[in-house]
Structure 1
Amino acid sequence: MSKFKKKKSGDLPAISTASLPDIVFMLLFFFMVATVMRQNTLMVENRLPFADQTEKLEKKDLVMYIYAGKPSERYQKQFGKEARIQLNDKFADVNDIQQFIIEERESKREELQGLLTTSLKIDAETGMGLVSDIKYELRKAEAYRVNYTTKNGEAIKNMQ
């Protein structure tokens, strides 16, 4: 009789699942930190025009967005089919832009207030009259840094 017995079956041992919850929670925390949540719900149609000479904005946290266009189908019964302005998550009138700019400035630190940029996300089919009204209100609010958001592409596509 021998002291040592050979293992008869060549089965692999079961995989330990003790560290599995740690891995799951690590992935969960990673995606919670890395995910950017959408700030505004878009209530207007926003097919941006094309432009061939574009630049990317450096600091997106210093940008105030003004959307303009026809209300999306969900809101057309309530607000009609006329082009409207959206400030944050609500429809607004042209006269509300100045107050919106003031409130956005006050929400930032004092040294950053002069660096704020207003980005106009205007639907390609919106009339220029509404755009000039928005620009006039921005001048009254002393918001001189204005950016027009476009898609990168050839400008000739805007005619099609």
Structure 2
Amino acid sequence: MKKKGGKGLPPISTASLPDVIFMILFFFMVSTTMRDQELLVRYTLPNATEVQKLEKKSLVSYIHVGQPTPSMQAKFGTAPRIQLNDSYKTTRDILDFVAAERDKLNEADRASMTVCLKADDMTKMGIITDIKQELRRANALRISYAAQKTLGY
């Protein structure tokens, strides 16, 4: 009752394979966000036991404080530097930075703007105090400090 013939398995259709690949590519293009800033400083966040997440990250502006990256140390040295957006700045530039960040937001959200300090745990407190004084002058009174969560033992 068995038919004699050299029929093998039929070939697998690959006609829909490009469609699947383009759907996956489109998904990753839509769901991936690009980094808005290039990090020019290295920092290790301090440890904290009580950490809260920020609700609206679109209202947060970041100030990075730490040693320059190894590629920038030849030019800027190893002393802690302040990074605002994509360049090194001084504390005198914080007033302009806050004004520019406020102008990016709409009127209703300007009062909710938060400045987040991402500082290295070995940064001297004098630099942080200078930054806080300039933020007071700029009337940026909502400040958060970035930290990594540790166990509270």
Q: Which residue of 1 aligns with 2:144?
A: 147
Letter in 2 for 1:33: V
Paired with 2:38 and 2:90, the residues of 1 have a C-alpha distance of 18
> How far off its partner does 1:8 sit?
2.1
- Establish whether residue 84 from structure 1 lines up as the match of residue 67 from structure 2: no
Q: Which residue of 2 aligns with 1:11?
A: 8
Letter in 2 for 1:117: T
Question: % of aligned pairs identical?
Answer: 47
- Establish whether residue 22 from structure 1 lines up as the match of residue 22 from structure 2: no
Asked if the contact 1:43–1:72 (Cα under 8 Å) also holds between the matched residues in 2, the reply is yes
Paired with 2:151 and 2:44, the residues of 1 have a C-alpha distance of 15
> RMSD over aligned Cα, in angstroms?
1.5
Paired with 1:108 and 1:14, the residues of 2 have a C-alpha distance of 58
Asked if the contact 1:68–1:86 (Cα under 8 Å) also holds between the matched residues in 2, the reply is yes
Larger radius of gyration between Structure 1 and Structure 2: 1
Corresponding residue pairs, total: 151
User: Structure 1: which 5+ residue stretches go unaligned?
Assistant: 1-5
3-state SS of 1:91 partner? strand
User: Structure 2: which 5+ residue stretches go unaligned?
Assistant: none
Q: Which residue of 1 aligns with 2:54?
A: 57
Moved more, 33-42 or 18-27: 33-42
Paired with 1:155 and 1:84, the residues of 2 have a C-alpha distance of 31
> How far off its partner does 1:155 sit?
7.5
Letter in 1 for 2:130: D
Paired with 2:47 and 2:62, the residues of 1 have a C-alpha distance of 18
Deviations 1:99-142 (A, max 9, x none): 00000110111111111110000001110000000000001111
Paired with 1:89 and 1:73, the residues of 2 have a C-alpha distance of 16
Q: Which residue of 1 aligns with 2:105?
A: 108
Asked if the contact 1:50–1:155 (Cα under 8 Å) also holds between the matched residues in 2, the reply is no
Please report the TM-score for the alignment, with normalisation by the length of structure 2: 0.93
Moved more, 35-44 or 143-152: 35-44
Asked if the contact 1:44–1:67 (Cα under 8 Å) also holds between the matched residues in 2, the reply is yes
Please report the TM-score for the alignment, with normalisation by the length of structure 1: 0.89
